[in-house]
A and B are shown apart, each in its own frame.
Chain A
Amino acid sequence: MQSDSGSGSASTVSREDNLALSSEDSSSTPDDCGLGLSLGLFLGIGNGATMQRPGPKILTAYDLPGALCSSSASSTLSRVNGIAGSKRTADSVSPSNASSQVVGWPPIRAYRMNSLANPGKSPSNKESNSTVGKDNTKSIAQQMKNCGNGRDSNPKQGLLSKSSYVKVNMDGVPIGRKVDLSVHDCYEKLAHTLDKMFDASIATANSTQCPSLLGAPRSSKLLDGSSGYVLTYEDKEGDWMLVGDVPWGMFLTSVRRLRIMRTAEAKGIST
């Protein structure tokens, strides 16, 4: 019996369903995601939410020839959201393959998922490039080139000594955000996070009403390059650079803060 056709109870069912729905919505505020933000700037994150809106994209070096990070779009929201070890956030997944399209699959505890994604709490390594023995130098270099390939030897060497939040500002948005770089291991994942963070702002800024769709495009908006925005960062020397030119590891050590800049303003940066 596929359809529920109890007519007498239909109204009761729907009322109860609505109750169930509404109270569930109210109980899953963005705060639950451990990002500590209650501004409601993003709408796609919540318990089990798999929505990603298509729409204007943020330009980065990816959109320009010679982009470094060539790994497939296997990033997962579950890792992106695995911040602060919060158990709740590990279920949102990016729909890049059959396995990752499904909530709670494969059946791995949230703690384990988060620890796969967030390796960087080891205390000692400030010059970790020179720390390890010879058989590992190749793998570090490889990791810098092949970000997203968690399978390389010793992929979990944290290049940061502690989690590092950097500010993210977007042109035209008065209130900035912060993003924890240590939970990402490549540009793509960072792009996904920023997509979601500023999704609503991008949509409004471009005056395009993007209907929310279940089931999202495969690639991050960053890879599409139609948004009218560019992702830039301020480095140690105070210069504003286009995100994506240098290996991820190098980027981590030099980034101070991020800015999502209007393409028009960024003209001087892109070639």
Chain B
Amino acid sequence: MDPKRARESPESAVLSRPSAFPDEVLERILSLLDTHKDRSSASLVSKAWYHAERWSRARVFIGNCYSVSAEILVRRFPNIRSVTLKGKPRFSDFNLVPQNWGADIHSWLLVFAEHYPSLEELRLKRMTVTDQSLEFLALKFPNFKSLSLLSCDGFSTDGLSAIATHCRNLTELDIQENGIDDISGNWLNCFPDNFTSLEVLNFASLNSEVNFDSLERLVTRCNLLRILKVNKTITLDQLQRLLVRAPWLTELGTGSFIQELTPRQYADLETSFKGCRNLQTLSGLSEATALYLPALYPACANLTFLNLSYAALQSEELARLLAYCAHLRRLWVLDTVEDKGLEAVGQNCPLLEELRVFPSDPFDEEIVHGVTELGFLAVSYGCRKLRYVLYFCRQMTNAAVATIVRNCPDFTHFRLCIMNPGQPDYLTREPMDEAFGAVVKNCPKLQRLAVSGLLTDLTFEYIGTFAKNLETLSVAFAGSSDLGMQCVLEGCPKLRKLEIRDCPFGNKALLSGLEKYESMRSLWMSACKITMNGCRLLARKMPRLNVEVMKDEESNDGQSYKVYVYRSVAGPRRDAPPFVLTL
């Protein structure tokens, strides 16, 4: 008898009477469901649907690796081919989480080797991955196709060698912004000569030089290659040779964009770019100068995503480039382009949906450089479809933000970072409360918000009152009292992730969210006014939450803690290091 049927109890027989559809048909239908949300909803309909969904699910996304265990995962989903895991709290990207905190992939791999031998895809974010794990992955999973490591740590280029050597069916190797031990570029030579399946190769964030001949041969024989992002050691003339081999790329990350080229070489480069008719995404361009950017122009016609965040362009250079990028939807730049460059964005990119402006010199004391509220305003006038913004600046006004969100009411992600902590409106010297009040009032679709500047509890009252679709909130150096945090916890029904640092929120605020935390993925609080007693109380009252405490070694008074609270069906961590106290 079908083992799934054996599980059903008499009462559920009423709910899940033998349906007109055989299980196989139900599974087939449910297998067409794509998103995790849809699948989760489907699994709640009835026992039959629950089982059909779990048997048909091939891809699983786990937003917090400690919310569930590998054993529970394999028990529920027997046929997984693709796993996405996120590990450490997001503030670990900014060094607020000590080393050896956890989120090690290895224990998962051991379970996967036994239960998912046909595993094809692994996408990890903020996990610890060792070379041994990478080798284990390469050796134990013969069907393994796709590896993506973003903001991970613990491995070296030796681990990549293992992947290149053993994964015969590899289609994707995507290594981004990891804390990697970059020993050498030899890993690239490890792809066997008869290896041709690669479709995605991204090693832009590795620093060591790779053997260009190996790369060229690899690109030549992998004719399915559609995404290629090389690192800074690849020169312009080398890039040109690669482009000739792979003109059908849809995403390109260039190497270093500075080199002395002969006129002939430049002409060749231009021709190669002209041949790239399918380019949708362009990135890299480190050290790009006005001299060679024009070679790119012919390739920009279909660009939807331009990532200039590692290219210190000036405003005129950007303006000239953007004239060719009318279809741009996503743009990442450095603040070297200044307000004038952003004016050009507003003038040239009416379809723009996402803008990220990164600081080129985050610790610069002088305010005269970078972007200001004027640049943001200029973009908002020209790009009415803006929905995602990440903006690092040194000055902002309430009035500007109010105008911006009036121009662009479709914001789903609004992340504003005024770099000097606790800085007020520079014109009125008032807190920035009204700015974020305007954001939440005018943007009903807001899902993610990051606040900065001088903020009182009023900001959080606004958020709690108006931000009804808010899922992620990041707060730093803000608020006046516990009331602020309480407003958010009580007012935002869809809140999933709350991360707070250096705010005057204490135990009262922490404990006001008792019922809330089980409906959230996680809460992070550091350098606030939480005490150990508050954390203990929380842990005692909510046994199904994991309440983890670390001593805050950066604090001056020795009283401050870092608290990480998250729901879990796996119980307390078994791999917590000594400095993590699970209450």
Contacts and interface: CB of A to CB of B under 8 A. Distances in A.
A19 B267 CA distance: 65
25 contacts: A19-B579, A20-B581, A21-B551, A24-B578, A48-B96, A48-B554, A72-B365, A85-B180, A99-B362, A100-B362, A102-B421, A105-B94, A108-B359, A121-B232, A122-B259, A123-B209, A124-B258, A131-B258, A132-B291, A135-B291, A151-B336, A151-B370, A153-B314, A154-B312, A157-B287
Interface string B501-539: 110001110000000000000000000010111101000
Interface string B343-379: 0000000000000001111111110011000000000
B99 A88 contact: yes
A111 B364 contact: no
B205 interface: yes
Interface string A20-61: 110110011000100000000000000110100000000000
A132 B286 CA distance: 14
Interface string B55-98: 00000000000000000000000000000000000010111101
Given A74-B364, A131-B258, 13 more contacts: A1-B507, A1-B531, A21-B551, A32-B99, A94-B363, A110-B95, A112-B358, A115-B310, A122-B232, A149-B361, A151-B336, A153-B336, A157-B258
A188 interface: no
A88 B363 contact: no
Overall SS of chain B's interface: loop
Please give me the 7 A-B residue pairs with the lowest Cβ-Cβ distance, nearest first: A87-B179, A91-B95, A104-B94, A111-B177, A23-B578, A100-B363, A150-B361
Interface of A: 1-4, 6, 9, 13, 16-17, 19-21, 23-24, 27-28, 32, 47-48, 50, 72, 74-76, 78-79, 84-88, 90-91, 93-94, 96-100, 102-113, 115-116, 119, 121-125, 131-133, 135-136, 149-151, 153-158, 214
A105 B233 CA distance: 29
A30 B179 CA distance: 17
A32 to B, nearest CB: 6
Contacts of B579: 19-21, 23-24, 27
B219 to A, nearest CB: 18
Contacts of B256: 121-124
B295 interface: no
A93 B363 contact: yes
B164 interface: no
Nearest to B559: A4
A17 B359 CA distance: 37
Given A6-B533, A24-B579, A151-B360, A156 B551 contact: no
Contact of B532 (A13, A90, A104, A157): A13
Contacts of A86: 179, 181
A156 B98 CA distance: 31
Contacts of A150: 360-361, 364
B312 A155 contact: yes
Given A23-B579, A155-B312, A106 B177 contact: no
Contacts of B365: 72, 74, 96-97
Interface in B525-574: 529, 531-534, 536, 550-551, 553-554, 556, 558-559
Contacts of A74: 363-365
Contacts of B533: 1, 4, 6, 9
A25 to B, nearest CB: 9
B577 interface: yes
B476 A107 contact: yes
Contact of A96 (B93, B289, B363, B577): B363
A123 B364 CA distance: 28
Interface in B464-482: 474, 476
Given A111-B205, A125-B258, A154 B421 contact: no
B503 to A, nearest CB: 13
Given A2-B506, A98-B421, A47 B531 contact: no
A106 B450 CA distance: 12
B412 interface: no
Contacts of A111: 151, 177-179, 205
Contact of B260 (A17, A75, A84, A124): A124
A90 B95 contact: yes
